[in-house]
């Protein structure tokens, strides 16, 4: 599933052709994805100007001139790909429709944004912009890891007394929003913390040091266009490249990258997810 860097990369790719532009026609080709689309979604989107395109955790939010906000979640295999951009940022002509093109935004500027989702685990919803933060998917989220509300004191307090592994704590979207399996593995490696260590047993200084490390990992991933492992594509249809910089994720059995470490990367399963780590470097 795309994590924060992938969703942010898609958002920044969509912004030049959507922000400030009018949706001339919205085309909805099925009644649902992970859940049913809102009533009259195509009608409610058509003719609306996208005032602002933003991100909250792993969700893209498009604030519309109607006073509503469109929430988009890419799910496991969802893609939002731009074609026919008159500004020249995207070289792709409009492709022929494909089987899994479920929602298409025909923009007044001549560009087209296609939401394609083979497994249909993605989702869209419409809500009032003024109360968007009260939406059931957004109201439970913790602070953004690249925002001012995510700081050392917050993470120390969130970990205090927690008997769950630190890996699970960092995946808790109520503690920090947008982190997923890939970037938690990478951050814990850089922090030299074992994914098995109980969150409440980690010294405050080590927890505090995690905050800038998490920020650094995410910033580097965004700069690389995210990580393309299976289905993820940027808005221009190209792959992300951060997967080529992984220190541990997906590298089971490969040598640890720490100088002078002769250990190999190990994998263990925690709550149904693979954790990759160096047994020597991470304690």
Catalytic residue IDs:
2-3, 58, 273
| DSSP sequence for 21-79 | -BEEEEEE-SSBSSSBPPTTHHHHHTT-BEEEEEEETTEEEEEETTSEEEEEE-TTTEE
- Classify residue 179 as exposed, middle or buried by CB count within 10 Å of its CB (0-12, 13-18, 19+): buried
Six-digit token string for 66: 């109607």
Buried-state track 88-126, b at ≥16 Cβ within 10 A, e below 16: eebeeeeeeeeebbbbbbbbebebbbbbbbbebebbbbb
Six-digit token string for 277: 């780590």
Six-digit token string for 53: 């395109």
Nearby residues of 200 by Cβ (< 8 Å), 6 or more positions away? 159, 160, 161, 162, 163
The strands making up 59-64's β-sheet, listed across from edge to edge, are 50-56, 59-64, 68-73, 123-128
């Amino acid at each position: 599933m795309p994590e924060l860097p992938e969703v942010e990369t898609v958002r920044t790719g969509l912004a030049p052709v959507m922000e400030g532009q009018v949706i001339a026609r919205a085309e909805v080709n099925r009644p649902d994805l992970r859940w049913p689309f809102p009533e009259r979604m195509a009608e409610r989107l058509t003719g609306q100007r996208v005032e602002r395109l933003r991100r909250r955790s792993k969700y893209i939010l498009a604030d519309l001139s109607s006073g509503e906000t469109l929430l988009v979640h890419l799910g496991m295999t969802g893609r939002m790909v731009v074609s026919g951009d008159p500004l020249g940022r995207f070289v792709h002509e409009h492709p022929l429709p494909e089987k899994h093109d479920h929602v298409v935004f025909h923009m007044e500027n001549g560009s087209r944004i296609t939401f394609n989702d083979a497994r249909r685990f993605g989702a869209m919803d419409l809500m009032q912009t003024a109360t968007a933060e009260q939406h059931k998917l957004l109201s439970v989220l913790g602070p953004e890891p690249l925002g001012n509300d995510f700081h050392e004191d917050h993470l120390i307090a969130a970990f205090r007394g927690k008997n769950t592994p630190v890996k699970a704590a960092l995946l808790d979207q109520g503690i920090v929003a947008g982190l997923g399996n890939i970037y938690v593995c990478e951050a814990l490696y850089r922090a030299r913390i074992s994914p098995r260590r109980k969150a409440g047993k980690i010294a405050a200084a080590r927890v505090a040091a995690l905050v800038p490390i998490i920020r650094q990992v995410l910033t580097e991933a965004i700069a690389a266009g995210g990580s393309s492992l299976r289905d993820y594509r940027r808005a221009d249809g190209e792959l992300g490249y951060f997967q080529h910089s992984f220190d541990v994720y997906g590298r089971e059995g490969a040598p640890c990258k720490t100088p002078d470490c002769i250990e190999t990367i190990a994998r263990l399963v925690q709550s149904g997810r693979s954790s990759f780590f160096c047994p020597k470097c991470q304690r």
